[in-house]
Structure 1
């Protein structure tokens, strides 16, 4: 997003944080309601355009939203959504993207409250790795003509009882309503949202052999110096790395051996 949409999303994030600071608010329920409205806005183009029309006043759009939703969602979700439609958006899709991000973030807040955000983050990463290594599963879940209920059932057979309910909800929403995204990009976006809950960045680390605790601490400290913030390590092993180390953070990639090239990479990036 850029321009007006970026500012509107920033304000919406702050509103969600302020709302969920109240322990009386159920973030899991909130996430489900926001996700349902996201699906509605994605499906109904006329409504989407009407609620993001810059020629209409914010109050008029909020009034239309309240009239349409009535008591179908709770007051908390309705207030958040009213704030979204009052804002200015560079394009109608940005409004839907923002509603979806708020839904996913609300679920992650629910995980954070229960102290399982790290687990959800790791499960999202592992599921992404499973997808990348299983073309048959990826094809089944990405099949655009397959029934959404059947895909949700397949996911439940894979994740039910093995992953946190938040992980299953997030992945199921992504698979049944990808909104033009690949599964890989959707999982990556969810991982970034999870990391943002702790003001952390995510580093995907691939090494030839499992890293020792000392190596993980050294790597985490070096990356923290480079980026000025805590970095969460998602670890993977690939013998083809041939004794070296590959670290990807966003679009940046660091290649080097664990012992004698990491510090050099850190100095280069810092400079």
Structure 2
């Protein structure tokens, strides 16, 4: 998401924060996320609602007629605001509405003092998928219905996960829209961390970092970025040694495997 779309989403995400005290906020969060699913499935509808060539009043009226009876006052107001601003594409519009729904669910968890737990559960679910080819194939199988995929998630998390975690993951596995599942879960984690005013560092090392190493890494990254850091550490013996750190789109790869690959490329180019 770039240009006007990025600016529009940033403004909407700030505005959503002011609605957190609404009595219908928790249910509205689910409704906004559900609306994103409808928009993703209905090409003509999303194109019309995102069309800046049509007056926003007319587009908002259409949305109100389509979603009447399924959205509360707060959720409908969030959708109105999303329709009223400019998007570079209808795909950006859908992604923005989805992001707002995710953010609202994270705010609801934060209000219940559970957002840290939700973020941790999302990370652990992502690791479970990474370690199970069968689970990954099941949740990305195009022959499996969306309802069946959602049931897999709810069954796996029954009695273990926060309801917000379950809702976020059930939505995500049924609304990938061409995205990799691991990347989609990472995006959820980033929204949750951002709501806590933190950045997420995805760290890969050949052996597990001990507490002192993890704390030193957090301190160094916090100093570098000016933000609190959550370290999500993954052990991969295949990297040989060293560590790689990814924060958003930025990658620092100091692994032995990367240095060897760089050396091979240099030899081939000489």
Count of equivalent residues: 255
Superposition map of 1:213-252 within 5 A: 213-242=211-240, 244-250=242-248, 251-252=250-251
Deviations 1:62-117 (A, max 9, x none): 12212222232100011110111111111111111111001111111111112221
Task: Please state if 1:140 is matched with 2:145.
Answer: no
Runs (4+) off by over 6 Å: none
TM-score by length of 1: 0.87
Alpha-carbon distance in structure 2 between the residues aligned to 1:181 and 1:208: 27
User: In 2, distance between residues paired with 1:256 and 1:94?
Assistant: 35
Contact 2:139 2:173 in 1 (8 A): yes
Q: 2:141, 2:89 → 1: CA distance?
A: 28
- Report the 3-state secondary structure (helix = DSSP H, G, I; strand = E; otherwise coil) of the residue aligned with 2:245: strand
- Separation in 1 of the partners of 2:137 and 2:240? 31
Identify the residue that residue 263 of structure 2 maps to in structure 1: none
- The match for 2:46 is 48
SS at match of 2:18: helix
After TM superposition, the structure 1 stretch with the greater mean CA deviation from structure 2, 241-250 or 29-38, is 241-250
Partner of 1:6: 6
Q: Is the 8 A contact 2:50 2:89 kept in 1?
A: yes
Structure 1 stretches lacking a partner, 5+ long: 258-271
Q: In the alignment, which residue of structure 1 is the partner of 2:196?
A: 198
1: CA distance, partners of 2:245 / 2:202: 6
After superposition, the Cα gap between the structure-2 partners of 1:225 and 1:35, relative to the gap in structure 1 and judged at 3 Å, is same
TM-score by length of 2: 0.88
For residue 243 of structure 1, report the CA deviation from its aligned partner. Answer: 5.2
- 2:119 corresponds, among 104, 118, 121, to 121
Q: Which runs of 5+ in 2 are unaligned?
A: 257-270
Q: Pick closer, same or farther for the CA change 1:216–1:74 going to 2, 3 Å.
A: same
Deviations 1:201-220 (A, max 9, x none): 11112334433332222111
Taking only aligned residues, the RMSD between alpha carbons, in angstroms, comes to 1.8
The 5 Å alignment of 1:1-271 reads 1-20=1-20, 22=21, 24-242=22-240, 244-250=242-248, 251-255=250-254
Deviates more, 1:103-112 or 1:151-160: 151-160
Q: Which residue of 2 aligns with 1:264?
A: none
SS of equivalent to 2:254:
strand
More deviation, 81-90/240-249: 240-249
Structure 2 CA distance, aligned partners of 1:152 and 1:94? 24
Give the distance between the partners of 1:241 and 1:178, measured in 2 at CA: 29
- Aligned mates of 2:154, 2:68 — CA distance in 1: 32
Note closer, same or farther for the CA distance 1:26–1:234 as it changes in structure 2 (3 Å cut). Answer: farther
Decide whether aligned partners of structure 1 residues 75 and 234 sit closer, same or farther in structure 2, where only a CA change above 3 A counts: same
Offset from partner CA, 1:108-149 (integer Å, 9 cap, x none) = 111111222121111111211221221111111101121222
Q: Is the 8 A contact 1:19 1:25 kept in 2?
A: no
> 1:182 and 1:236 mapped to 2: Cα distance?
18
